[in-house]
């Protein structure tokens, strides 16, 4: 495995080919970026923590019939995954108003949404990952109607599972981002990762304290400190919840 063989390097992961064309190796990095990479840093141990959390959550989802790209995790920061072509969509599910939803609508931080909101963003760094309308998504041919309907259904199913799972960890799942890909048989698989980098997770025990409750990448985005500790704490609780099952 060398720098020459990498297939793709993103902000948080490097994807390598393997001897099997149907299998890729994802190596999770400690690098952290925010605000479309305008803010850069490193969170010690993040790669291994996020890979471990994602691996557990993908396995839990698979056990509930949701197809993911996860195969196995040969090392704490490595995941063997089914080779997929990622759709250029960031699918965000929200249960509670935070982040860009508050900025763009004026809703107060922490407003509980009557029903989960599923949003599609165009995965395009140059354009700053803009929010899409359904019509724009189809105009750009980013996915078919059938794919969008299936993704929406899956995103809501995944939300129901994750909400309940994190509740068992004494964590409120505020919102999160998913990515989907197509394998060689054109099957739609959940891909990328589910981790404190891609979710907003609030510690229930911290009550409404807007800084203390944050157990996710907002600690890095907002310079709240103790980022590693928060990520480690999420991993600890996820492992405990999986063990209890
Ligand atoms: O910034 P915004 O409020 O739209 O983010 C919604 C959710 O999606 C957050 O949990 C955030 O961490 C996640 N997200 C992500 N990658 C992006 C944009 C948002 O993981 N490029």
Cβ(157)–Cβ(165) below 8 Å: no
By percentage, how much of the chain surpasses pLDDT 70?
A: 98
Q: Where in the chain is the domain with CATH 3.30.200.20?
A: 8-82
203 lines ligand 1 (CB under 6 A): no
What tens digit of pLDDT does each residue of 165-201 get? 999 999 999 999 999 999 999 999 999 999 999 999 9
Residues 6+ apart with CB under 8 A from 97: 105, 107, 108, 109, 110, 111, 113
10 lines ligand 1 (CB under 6 A): no
SS3 186: coil
User: Closest ligand 1 atom, CA of 176?
Assistant: 10
Give 76's pLDDT tier (boundaries 50, 70, 90): very high
200 lines ligand 1 (CB under 6 A): yes
β-pairing, 89-96 vs 112-122, is antiparallel
Given this model, what pLDDT does residue 4 score? 60
Separation of CA 14 and ligand 1 centre (Å): 20
User: Closest ligand 1 atom, CA of 175?
Assistant: 10
User: Closest ligand 1 atom, CA of 200?
Assistant: 10
What tens digit of pLDDT does each residue of 149-170 get? 999 999 999 999 999 999 999 9
Q: Taking the CB of residue 175, how many other CB atoms lie within 10 A of it?
A: 24
β-pairing, 85-86 vs 39-42, is unpaired
Residues 6+ apart with CB under 8 A from 90: 120, 121, 122, 123, 129, 177, 178, 179
190 token code pair: 């959940």
Separation of CA 190 and ligand 1 centre (Å): 17
| b/e sequence 54-74, b meaning 16+ C-beta within 10 Å | bbbbbebbeeeeebbbbbebe
85-226 placed in CATH 3.40.50.10470 = no
Given this model, what pLDDT does residue 190 score? 99
Cβ(220)–Cβ(43) below 8 Å: yes
Q: Where in the chain is the domain with CATH 3.30.470.20?
A: 85-226
198 lines ligand 1 (CB under 6 A): yes
By percentage, how much of the chain surpasses pLDDT 90?
A: 98
Instruction: Give, as one character, the DSSP assignment of residue 218.
Output: H
Question: What does the mean pLDDT of the chain come to?
Answer: 97
Q: Taking the CB of residue 126, how many other CB atoms lie within 10 A of it?
A: 6
218 lines ligand 1 (CB under 6 A): no
Residue of 215, 218, 195, 211 lying closest to 203 (CA atoms): 215
The average pLDDT across 218-227 equals: 98
Which residue's C-alpha comes closest to atom 18 of ligand 1?
A: 177
Structurally, at CATH architecture level, domain 8-82 sits in: 2-Layer Sandwich (3.30)
156 token code pair: 């809501």
* Position 3 pLDDT exceeds 90: no
Given this model, what pLDDT does residue 174 score? 99
> Pocket of ligand 1, candidates 95, 177, 195, 230: which has the most ligand atoms within 8 Å of its Cβ, to mutate?
177
């Amino acid at each position: 495995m060398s720098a020459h063989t990498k297939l793709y390097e993103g902000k948080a992961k490097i994807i390598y080919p393997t001897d099997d064309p149907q299998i890729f190796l994802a190596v999770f990095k400690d690098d952290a970026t925010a605000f479309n990479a305008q803010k850069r840093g490193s969170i010690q141990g993040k790669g291994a923590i996020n890979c471990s959390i994602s691996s557990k959550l993908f396995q839990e989802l698979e056990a509930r019939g949701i197809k993911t790209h996860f195969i196995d995790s040969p090392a704490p920061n490595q995941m063997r995954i089914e080779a997929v072509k990622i759709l250029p969509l960031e699918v965000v599910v929200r249960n509670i108003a935070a982040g860009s939803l508050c900025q763009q609508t004026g809703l107060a931080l922490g407003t509980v949404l009557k029903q989960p909101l599923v949003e599609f963003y165009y995965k395009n760094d140059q354009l700053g990952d803009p929010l899409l309308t359904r019509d724009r998504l189809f105009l750009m041919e980013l996915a078919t109607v059938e794919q969008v309907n299936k993704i929406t259904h899956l995103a809501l199913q995944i939300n129901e599972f994750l909400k309940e799972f994190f509740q068992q960890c004494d964590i409120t799942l505020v919102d999160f981002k998913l990515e989907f890909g197509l394998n060689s048989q054109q099957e739609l698989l959940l891909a990328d990762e589910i981790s404190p980098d891609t979710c907003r997770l609030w510690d229930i025990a911290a009550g409404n304290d807007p800084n203390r409750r944050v157990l996710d990448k907002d600690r890095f985005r907002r310079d709240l400190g103790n980022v590693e500790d928060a990520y480690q704490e999420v991993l600890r609780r996820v492992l405990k919840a999986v063990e209890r099952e």
